[in-house]
Amino acid sequence: MSRGKPRLTFLCELDSGPLQNLFAKDSLIEELKALDATISVGIKDLSPQRAAVIRALNAAQIPLVAWLLLPDELGYWFNAGNIEHAVHRYNEFQKWTQVNNLQWQGVGLDIEPDIRNTAAVAEGPLNFVPRVLRMIADSRRLYLAQHGYQSLVARMRSDGYRVDAYYFPFILDARAVRSNFFLRFLGLVDINADRDVLMLYSSFLRPLGHGVLWSYAPEAQSIAVGSTGGGVSVGGFDQIPALKWGELSRDLRLAYRWSDDIHIFSLEGCVKQGFLKHLHTLDWDELPPLPLAETRQVERWRLALRGLLWSWENPGVVLGAFAGFLSLALLLRRRLKV
């Protein structure tokens, strides 16, 4: 029996000028209305030009999520190092929203490492070592940041917004073993949002990308697939080939096996490649070939990752087990000599 169609949200990460050009034709708005789609708009600035686009989308009754971002010099994405700037950004966003009489269905928080750290790794991994050591050692920084972000989320809810959090998928493995290692290592925070969106972009993880998607999808509240092109230029990620229609339609169908709530990154990439017309006629009930071999490999990696994370958080247990094993081996050796 057919389940109908999923709820689609397109992520759009454009500067104000390109954003205006994207929506210059009314046909795009009509296509989005026909898909009953939501747009998560990357708030890269608080300009009059961006406000004009948002008002047009409000007038067309397109549901919108405000995907909050920071200037590059403040980290761009939200993380443990910029809670003060995140609060200030939200204050300014609220003023801009009220002055321009804009309407939002919700707010999106993109939880990713500081873009300056990402750029430093791209220039040379050793550049990141001093920073990462400081972050791993500073557990108080993470504690204060998580409490700060949770207070911000509570305020957003009181202002009438649903709060989405965009995460890397390994956050689920860290939660499963109650580990904060990755949070400290990458400067991330784990907040209690209303909806977690896992970024399962198979284009970034070829040739195992669809195996990663199939492995994590059963545990996801909402699944983001992509990339169809676009996005911020950092670390060479903008040079990764975008998904073609065959790859995107495969990922969409795989995601739909597990979730009725699907995000697509990015809207501008879909428009450029002419994907919207294909989405109108996509048979969502058709099951693509399952990436079983790739998923088994990903599952082995995830099991190893969870083991490492658990060991990091429980060194006493690991050392005790090792000492016990060593004592047993020595005892057996002595008995064999008798």
- DSSP result, 221-283: SEEEEE-SS-----TTGGGSPPPPHHHHHHHHHHHHTT-SEEEEE-HHHHHHHT-HHHHHH--
Closest CA to 44 of 230, 192, 193: 230
Are 337 and 191 contained in the same domain? no
Cα first-last separation, the chain: 71
- Quick check: is 100 in a domain? yes
- How many structural domains compose the chain? 2
Structure tokens at 141: 């920084």
pLDDT values of the chain reduced to their tens digit, one per residue, 338 residues: 456 789 999 999 999 999 999 999 889 999 999 999 999 999 999 999 999 999 999 999 999 999 999 999 999 999 998 999 999 999 999 999 999 999 999 999 999 988 877 666 556 655 555 565 565 566 677 889 999 999 999 999 999 999 999 999 999 999 999 998 888 888 899 999 999 999 999 998 889 999 999 999 999 999 999 999 988 776 555 678 999 999 999 999 999 999 999 999 999 999 999 999 999 999 999 989 999 999 999 999 999 999 999 998 875 554 554 454 455 555 555 665 55
- Whether residues 218 and 138 share a domain: the answer is yes
- CA dist list (Å): 42 to 7, 26, 53, 67, 125: 19, 20, 12, 5, 29
Tell me, what's the pLDDT at 105? Answer: 96
- φ, ψ for residue 197, nearest 5 deg: -115, 115
Residues 19, 42 contacting (CB under 8 angstroms): no
The verdict on 256 and 321 lying in the same domain is no
Is residue 272 in some structural domain?
Answer: yes
Do 112 and 236 lie in a common domain? Answer: yes
Tokens of 40: 């998560």
Say yes or no: 185 and 315 in one domain. Answer: no
Residue in this structure with the two tokens 């998560």, named with its chain if needed: 40
Query: Which domain, by its residues, includes 102?
Result: 7-290
Residue 2 domain-assigned (yes or no): no
Q: Are residues 199 and 268 in the same domain?
A: yes
Q: Residue 1: inside a domain, yes or no?
A: no
Q: Is residue 56 part of a domain?
A: yes
Distance CA 97, CA 94 (A): 5
Question: Closest by alpha carbon to 6, among 287, 282, 278, 265?
Answer: 282
Residue entry with tokens 């608080």: 46
Asked whether residue 336 falls in the same domain as residue 281, the answer is no
| Residue 250 to residue 115: CA distance in whole angstroms | 30
Residue that is last in its domain, among 290, 309, 327: 290
Q: Are residues 46 and 81 in the same domain?
A: yes
Q: Taking the CA atoms of 306, 310, 312 and 315 in sequence, report the sign of the dihedral they define.
A: negative
269 within domain boundaries: yes
Q: What is the DSSP letter of 78?
A: B
| Domain identity same for 274 and 328 | no
> Are 13 and 68 found together in one domain?
yes
The CATH number given to whatever domain includes residue 232 is 3.20.20.80
| Within a domain: 90 | yes
Six token digits for residue 206: 């070829």
| Residue 196 sits in the same domain as residue 211 | yes
